[in-house]
Chains A and B, each alone.
Chain A
Amino acid sequence: MVFSRALGLTRTTMALERRFTLAVFSLSVLFMCTVSSVLGYGIRYLFSEFLPSASSFEKQVSLFLAVIVSYCLMYLLVSKLLPKFLPLFSGVISYAAFSCAVYGTLLVSAGKELDLLLSLVHGVGAGCGMVLASMLLLCGHRRLDLRDVPRAFKGMPIMLLYIGMLSLVLYGLVGHNLPT
């Protein structure tokens, strides 16, 4: 999601320096992707049964309901099971829930018309990918902070170049060829 579609990538993702905060962020995205993928499949099923003539944009907008319900569920679970963490991380959890990665995962699985099991696998996979990408970004951020980067490239520019290089590497590893 991060390196091939640039989803879930904001300054927050790139600037998170504490491992625990990053872990909370990426695990929130994993939970949201998993739960919302199941709910999203349900919404698609309802559309196919009762509103088959709905346009793709209407279906995409309705899928947002899955994100909202998953977010409310996650907030309820955290407030009941981990009430001490809620004041510290409510902002991170909310930001993770309404990131492009979660909604984008839903839209991608809707576009591919995946069934329930594949949607769930896709959601879990996207969430795990986000966890891995966050770890790579954190490692890169720390190493780049220690390097003698040219002044013009310090901060966001060098992080964008780093992510661009990673994206290029993964583009080649997956098996794509450069377009000619």
Chain B
Amino acid sequence: MKLARNRRLHRFLGKTEGIFGHNAVLIGGLALPFVIMTAVSLKNAAALTISMLFSVLFGVGAGVLTRKIPVWLRYVTVTVAAMMGVTLSRLVVQHLNPEIFDSIGFYLPMMAVNSIVLVYAVERTRFSTPGRSFGSALACTAGFALTACVVGAVRELLLTGTLWGNKVFNITFPAANTVFFGFILLGFLGAAVQEVRRGITLINLRADNPTTEDLLRQQEERLVD
């Protein structure tokens, strides 16, 4: 059985782990509260992404520098460093929209204890080189950004019919602001991603290994031509 296309697909997914391969939020289940509760608009999603980037960079940096200390103490140093990153990110986020802090609320300081920081800064830095630790953490942040932006865009369109504050169409679906809608939307998005991946794998398998019916059909088409 030929698997050349699927091997290429797996290599691509391996290189983009955290983004397309094993997405951090949809498949990994990391940083769910922020996407579910606060990603209700594209601006909120952008603000969350900036805060996540700062907290992950500072957290992983602290994790790399404190590899020699006991693990239980590393949780403290990493989260304190992540909190410093979140505090700095506030200066950048307020340029997006000063009112954004009202909608994000206390989920902004909570970025310091998000699961991406805990997993990638404490656990993964123990066994990887600093370059790899930063690379995988940034890939995970990109996966979070992609998911948060898609969820934020969909919810903003459904809630107010706008995208980044610009009117697109007249629609209001206030239930899109609720927490259960966030859970259900993420569940369906995750299922869609899994199904798309499975579909692409099947298409590649069929293309590499045509069945007898496919070969006969191709022969008939050549004869007709």
CA distance A8 to B32 in the complex (A): 9
Residues on A with beta carbons closer than 8 Å to the beta carbon of B142: none
B29 touches A14 (CB 8 A): yes
> Are A108 and B106 CB-contacts (below 8 A) given A95-B118, A98-B75, A152-B191?
yes
Stretch at the interface among B12-20, B61-69, B179-187: B179-187
Q: Which residues of A contact B195 (CB under 8 A)?
A: 151-152
Instruction: Decide if A178 touches B183 in the complex (CB within 8 Å).
Output: no
Interface size on B, residues (CB 8 A): 49
Bound Cα distance A68, B83 (Å): 12
Interface size on A, residues (CB 8 A): 56
Q: Would you call A6 and B113 a contact (CB within 8 A)?
A: no
Question: Which residues of chain A are within 8 angstroms of B83 by Cβ–Cβ distance?
Answer: 61, 64
The 5 closest A-B pairs by CB, nearest first: A11-B29, A164-B183, A160-B187, A179-B174, A157-B190
Using Cβ atoms and an 8 Å threshold, which residues of chain A touch B110? 100, 103-104, 107
B128 interface residue, CB < 8 Å from A? no
User: Are B27 and A178 in contact, CB atoms less than 8 angstroms apart?
Assistant: no
Q: Which residues of A contact B (CB under 8 A)?
A: 3-12, 14-15, 57, 60-61, 64, 67-68, 71-72, 75, 90-91, 94-95, 97-100, 102-104, 107-108, 111, 150-161, 163-165, 167-168, 171, 178-180
Residues B30-63 near A (CB distance < 8 A): 30-33, 36-37
> If the complex has contacts A98-B113, A100-B113, A107-B106, are A4 and B29 also in contact, measured as CB distance less than 8 A?
no
Interface SS, A side: helix
Once the chains bind, are B90 and A163 in contact (CB under 8 Å)? no
Can you add 5 more A-B contacts, CB < 8 Å, to A64-B80, A98-B79, A104-B110? Answer: A14-B29, A95-B118, A104-B106, A156-B26, A156-B28
Q: Which of B182-204 contact A (CB under 8 A)?
A: 182-184, 186-188, 190-192, 194-195, 198
In the complex, chain A residues whose CB is within 8 Å of the CB of B80? 64, 68
Q: Contact: A10 with B178, CB < 8 Å?
A: no
Q: How near does chain B come to A52, taking the closest CB pair, in angstroms?
A: 20
Which residues of A are found within 8 Å of B114, using beta-carbon distances?
A: 100
Residues of A within 8 A of B75 (CB): 71, 94, 97-98
What are 20 A-B interface contacts by the 8 Å CB criterion? A5-B33, A5-B37, A10-B30, A14-B29, A57-B87, A57-B109, A60-B106, A61-B83, A61-B109, A90-B72, A98-B118, A100-B114, A107-B106, A107-B110, A152-B192, A152-B198, A153-B194, A164-B184, A178-B178, A179-B178
Quick check: B188 and A157 within 8 Å, CB to CB? yes
Does B112 lie at the interface of the complex (its beta carbon under 8 Å from any beta carbon of A)? yes
Q: B178 — which chain A residues lie within 8 A by C-beta?
A: 171, 178-179
In the bound complex, do residue A10 and residue B115 qualify as a contact, i.e. CB atoms below 8 Å apart?
yes
Chain B residues with Cβ below 8 Å from A164 are 180-184, 187
Q: Is the CB of A6 within 8 A of B182?
A: yes
Q: With contacts A68-B76, A71-B76, A98-B113 known, is A10 near B179, CB below 8 A?
A: no
Taking CB atoms, residues of chain B closer than 8 Å to A156 are: 26-29, 187, 190
User: Closest approach, in angstroms, between the C-beta of A50 and any C-beta of chain B?
Assistant: 21
Residue B175 interfacial (CB < 8 Å): yes
Docked Cα-Cα span, A57 to B101, in Å, equals 10
B99 CB to nearest chain A CB (Å): 15
Chain B neighbourhood of A6, CB < 8 A: 32-33, 36-37, 179, 182-183
Contacts A10-B32, A64-B83: A179 and B175 contacting too (C-beta < 8 A)? yes
* A10: chain B residues within 8 A (beta carbon): 29-32, 115
User: Shortest CB–CB separation between residue B37 and chain A, in angstroms?
Assistant: 5
Residues of B within 8 A of A5 (CB): 33, 37, 179
